[in-house]
Amino acid sequence: MSTAPQPPEPDDQRQVLILTADAGYGHRSAALAIEAAMQERYGDRCATTVLNPLHEDGSPSILQTLSEQGHERSVQSELGLYDLGYRISDGIATAALMEQIFSALLHDPLEELLARTQPDVVISTYPFFLESLSFGVDRMGEATPLVSVITDLVAVHTIWFNPRVDLCLVPTEQARQKALRRKVPANRIHVTGLPVHPHFGAEQRSPAELRAELGWRPDLPAALIVGGTRVTNVLEVARLIDRAGLNVQLAIVAGGDEALHTQLMAEAWRGEAHVYGFVDDIAALMHASDLVMAKGGGLIVSETLACGRPIILFSSTAGQETGNVEYVTSNEAGDWAPTPAEALASLVRWLANGGDLLAERTANARRAGRPGAVYDVVELIWKLVETGPRPTSRQRNLRKAARLPLKAGTRVSRAIDKLKQDLRGVTDAELARLATWCINQIEADGELKRIADAVRQRIKA
């Protein structure tokens, strides 16, 4: 008489370590999506842990300030400088210096973290950990498999592409091409789509059923407007649509923006409007809606398309989000409408003629969306886990190797600070033009001063 197979003992479980950061929402959301899918598929054979190395004991506070708090401030209030910094740092020389700085500062905290968790595979959804991890995962002549999961769709920063990772999981073909240009071995690159939580593709209830449960009108088309602390013009867009008298109901999510939530609640809406603060199940709201209006972040774009909904993008951060806008519009799964008036005009076009254009955009969104991407990601990772560590002969001497780049990195950092001061009075439009001119001009760290001087001369001209 046969007996059912017994689950593995805890000591036999594979340890899956997922590293992320809280610079925006996308990195952690991808990490949690991978954790959920890994537990769903392989939960009896593995234990998953999600950690942020920047919050570990011994991690220099300056890294958290620069990577998380500084990133948030730049995106909210200094978009022109953020765009300029993003484009300049995307050069190979500058990206290499940034890698070395992070590697040296994170070397000890990461080594302690790895020793404590003893992972069978390490997954990173944040690019600045990869260089240090590529040294840290080597132990006792073997290398623990290392995986990078890229969370930007098209405009992917150079620092994401580390040729020493065992798997480089990219969301689009455009990202794969850049990985190849950055010398990541072709057999390690896989186009999976951007991993979103499994529940975005798992909804079985109809929009009418969901609307009834949410207290919306089941018979009226619904537009979901998604806000947040880094999203501009939410109130203006919602108010303009409400005043236009369209045959549509609005669902407006303020996210973590408490001031916006207060304003939305105080608004005297003329039509049907349902206001939310932070919501735990945005997937249900997306599936209940006919379309989404939002900022061009990689996460919200991927989640919306995974739900098979088209998207009107009315805001975008310079840098990586320009690629997300390009992805949506090139697939005709949405519109780029950077002002409230343009957002309203797009919605009017979509709803006209019985919603013909809305139906077309919806069909395109379903083709572009990849709700099963997270399962493709975890299957590739699990194959790597079962393969086990690979032999390595690499010698770790990171601190010695980082000395010279760190000195150069200090000079580059000072030059960037000086450049920012020189550009304080320049408008965002001027900065965008300057950034376009600067891109790919840096061939070595010494070039930065030359570029800074040339930029100042252009401003004076």
Q: Are residues 114 and 215 in the same domain?
A: no
Closest CA relative to residue 129, chosen from 156, 165, 154:
165
Q: What's the chain's Rg over C-alpha atoms?
A: 23
Flag whether 6 is in a domain.
no
Flag whether 303 is in a domain.
yes
User: Phi and psi at residue 430, in whole multiples of 5°?
Assistant: -65, -40
Flag whether 31 is in a domain.
yes
Question: What's the domain count of the chain?
Answer: 2
Strand extents, DSSP E, 46-98: 46-51
**Would you give the distance in Å from CA 218 to the centre of its chain?**
33
Q: Are residues 446 and 304 in the same domain?
A: no
Both tokens of residue 148? 């990078």
β 14-19/46-51 pair status: parallel
Q: Are residues 52 and 159 in the same domain?
A: yes
CB 330 within 8 A of CB 173: no
Paired residues of 336 in beta bridges: 313
Closest CA relative to residue 120, chosen from 47, 192, 31:
47
Q: What does the pLDDT profile of the chain (461 residues) look like in tens digits?
A: 445 555 555 567 899 999 998 876 778 889 999 999 999 999 899 999 999 988 887 776 766 665 555 444 444 444 444 454 555 555 555 566 666 667 667 777 888 888 899 999 999 999 888 877 876 666 556 788 999 999 888 778 788 888 889 999 998 898 899 899 888 999 999 999 889 999 888 888 999 999 999 999 999 999 999 988 778 889 999 999 999 999 999 999 998 889 999 999 999 999 999 999 989 889 999 999 999 999 888 888 989 999 999 999 998 765 567 788 888 999 999 999 999 999 999 999 999 999 999 999 999 999 998 888 999 999 999 999 998 777 765 444 444 444 444 444 455 455 555 555 555 665 555 555 554 444 444 444 455 455 555 555 554 55
Report the alpha-carbon angle 201-203-204, nearest 5: 130
Find tokens 């980082």 and name the residue.
402
Query: Exposed, middle or buried by CB within 10 Å (0-12, 13-18, 19+), for 252?
Result: buried
Q: Are residues 242 and 272 in the same domain?
A: yes
Last residue within a domain, chosen from 368, 384, 399: 368
Q: Are residues 218 and 146 in the same domain?
A: no
Flag whether 1 is in a domain.
no
Q: Are residues 226 and 164 in the same domain?
A: no
Last residue within a domain, chosen from 348, 368, 388: 368
Flag whether 26 is in a domain.
yes
Q: Are residues 60 and 176 in the same domain?
A: yes
Distances (CA, A) of 80 to 77, 421, 440: 9, 13, 18
Closest CA relative to residue 440, chosen from 64, 93, 45:
93
Q: Are residues 321 and 380 in the same domain?
A: no
Q: Are residues 337 and 223 in the same domain?
A: yes
Q: Are residues 128 and 218 in the same domain?
A: no
β 273-276/291-295 pair status: unpaired
Residue 157 domain boundaries: 12-196+374-460
Q: Which helix (H) or strand (E) holds 16?
A: strand 14-19
Flag whether 69 is in a domain.
yes
Q: Are residues 386 and 299 in the same domain?
A: no
Last residue within a domain, chosen from 368, 392, 423: 368
Q: Are residues 318 and 346 in the same domain?
A: yes
CATH number, position 311: 3.40.50.2000
CATH number, position 128: 3.40.50
